């Protein structure tokens, strides 16, 4: 249980909040490169950490991420014309470059110098791994660009999607590091999903007796979830939680691709849930890609032209009570990601953690809150934060079987390392 003040500290991420200041120290996945496919294409609205922004690619291919609203009378630049190395407000023709600088103000004489005095907020961006990343923190503290394994793989080895989730980022992150719910919420889907069924992981993850071992790391936390396997052995699922909102999901079978999530706050009541599927050694197959596009694996089926899932809170996530009652499917909500979204959104926009009753399987969540709280305090002082270095980001999730008499901590240190040209560790 936490106090209201502690809950506010953990969940509020606006510009003047402690957690918001901490999050602005990281490169933030803002939008997919495919959302700005060519020079002078239409601009895109971007909501990050409570700020409303516009992203655009100018005539020379340079990317801009600036305040959404014209400095004249507040018109949204989403309606603007992206042309001749700038975006022009349609109302009175004020034009801005990728730095937010006003470069043309048609109604005023050039010699007045008024145009040079107008500058919108802008943020540095980099394009890497088919993602456009934004940095919103102090420029003197800007880290190197992201170095997660999937950002450096060949394009054909990676599949990326994102979806709008109508909750605060934290309850999504807490769901991602809670391996115990897999045995209940996802138990039916593990039998049906084409990318999970008939795997060793799907077999052993059905065990409802889960014990956790947590190791604080340079990135955040390594979480080992132990279940019974064959007699005398334990099955371990190893999740990486990487500051501030990344999880790497344990693989369910040998040869399968790896998966990861990022739950990026749009504002305090909404986040963008990114999903990355990748294989270190091979291109993803046509079957894998088509399955994920259709909402299989840990991806979702989206309403065309939006990032909102087809199954959402307005239609009760297409809950099938007859299927649930039949015993063939535990939750009655189909697909892994929508199952997560349904329960997390049911809590409300921001969970009231003052009413919780936590148990031993919630220990990873308790530890993550402590790490986040420490990071917020460090950011207030301009100190070091976890997960900012390339070395800390070059890690993997893993799954393996060990004898019941121990050896997890020795095994896991080796299993989660990224070794170029070598496969990940999976049962």
- Across the chain, how many H-helices and E-strands are there? 11, 18
C-alpha distances out from residue 82 to 31, 183, 427, Å = 18, 50, 51
State yes or no: pLDDT of 199 exceeds 80. Answer: no
Q: pLDDT tens digit string along 106-147?
A: 999 999 999 999 999 999 999 999 999 999 999 999 999 999
CATH fold of 149-415 reads Naphthalene 1,2-dioxygenase Alpha Subunit; Chain A, domain 1 (3.90.380)
Superfamily of domain 27-141: Rieske [2Fe-2S] iron-sulphur domain (2.102.10.10)
Please report the pLDDT score of residue 209 as a whole number: 83
Task: Locate the domains of the chain by residue range.
Answer: 27-141, 149-415
Please report the pLDDT score of residue 254 as a whole number: 81
Rounded to 10°, the helix 4-11/363-380 angle is: 70
CA dist 82 and 159 (Å) reads: 29
Report the sign of the C-alpha dihedral through residues 390, 391, 394, 396, in that order: negative
**Can you give the pTM of this predicted structure?**
0.95
Q: pLDDT tens digit string along 73-112?
A: 999 999 999 999 999 999 999 999 999 999 999 999 999 9
- Assign 204 a pLDDT band (cuts: 50, 70, 90): confident
DSSP helix/strand/coil, 121? coil
Tally of CA atoms within 13 A in the half-sphere of 424 that contains its CB: 30
Residue with tokens 């979806």: 163
Which tokens sit at 24? 């602005």
Q: pLDDT tens digit string along 372-419?
A: 999 999 999 999 999 999 999 999 999 999 999 889 999 999 999 999
CA dist 318 and 296 (Å) reads: 16
Q: What are phi and psi of 335, to 5 degrees?
A: 75, 145
DSSP designation for 425: P
Mean pLDDT of 341-351: 97
DSSP helix/strand/coil, 162? strand
Report the sign of the C-alpha dihedral through residues 87, 89, 92, 95, in that order: negative
Q: pLDDT tens digit string along 317-329?
A: 999 999 999 877 8
Which tokens sit at 198? 């008939």
């Amino acid at each position: 249980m936490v106090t209201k003040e502690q809950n506010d500290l953990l969940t509020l991420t606006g510009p003047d909040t402690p957690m918001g200041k901490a999050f602005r120290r990281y490169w933030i996945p803002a939008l997919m490169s495919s959302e700005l496919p060519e020079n002078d294409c239409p601009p895109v609205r971007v909501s990050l950490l409570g700020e409303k922004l516009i992203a655009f690619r100018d005539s020379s291919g340079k990317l801009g991420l600036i305040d959404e609203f014209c400095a004249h009378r507040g018109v949204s630049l989403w309606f603007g014309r992206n042309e001749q190395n700038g975006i022009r407000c349609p109302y009175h023709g004020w034009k801005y470059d990728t730095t937010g600088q006003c470069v043309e103000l048609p109604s005023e004489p050039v010699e007045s110098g008024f145009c040079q005095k107008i500058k919108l907020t802008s943020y540095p961006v980099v394009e890497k791994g088919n993602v456009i990343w934004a940095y919103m923190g102090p420029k003197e503290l800007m880290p190197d660009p992201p170095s997660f394994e999937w950002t450096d793989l060949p394009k054909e080895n990676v599949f990326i999607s994102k979806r709008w989730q109508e909750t605060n980022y934290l309850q999504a992150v807490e769901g991602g590091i809670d391996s115990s719910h897999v045995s209940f919420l996802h138990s039916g889907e593990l039998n049906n999903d084409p990318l999970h069924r008939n795997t060793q992981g799907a077999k052993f993850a059905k065990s409802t007796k889960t014990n956790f071992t947590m190791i604080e790391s340079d990135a955040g936390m390594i979480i080992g979830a132990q279940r019974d396997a064959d007699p005398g052995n334990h099955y371990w699922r190893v999740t990486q939680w990487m500051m501030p909102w990344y999880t790497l999901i344990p693989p369910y079978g040998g040869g399968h691709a790896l998966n990861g999530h990022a739950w990026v706050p749009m504002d305090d009541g909404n986040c963008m849930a990114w999903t990355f599927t990748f294989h270190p050694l091979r291109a993803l197959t046509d079957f894998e890609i088509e399955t994920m596009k259709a909402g299989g694996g840990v991806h979702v089926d989206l309403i065309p032209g939006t990032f909102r899932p087809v199954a959402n809170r307005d239609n009760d996530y297409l809950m099938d009570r007859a299927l649930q009652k039949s015993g063939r499917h535990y939750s009655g909500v189909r697909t892994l990601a929508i199952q997560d979204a349904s329960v997390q959104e049911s809590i409300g926009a921001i969970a009231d953690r003052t009413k919780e009753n936590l148990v031993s399987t919630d220990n990873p969540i308790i530890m993550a809150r402590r790490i986040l709280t420490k990071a917020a305090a460090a950011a207030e002082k301009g100190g070091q934060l976890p997960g900012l270095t390339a070395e800390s980001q070059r890690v993997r999730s893993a799954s393996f079987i060990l004898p019941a008499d121990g050896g997890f901590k020795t095994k896991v240190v080796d299993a989660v390392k990224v070794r170029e040209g070598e496969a990940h560790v999976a049962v």
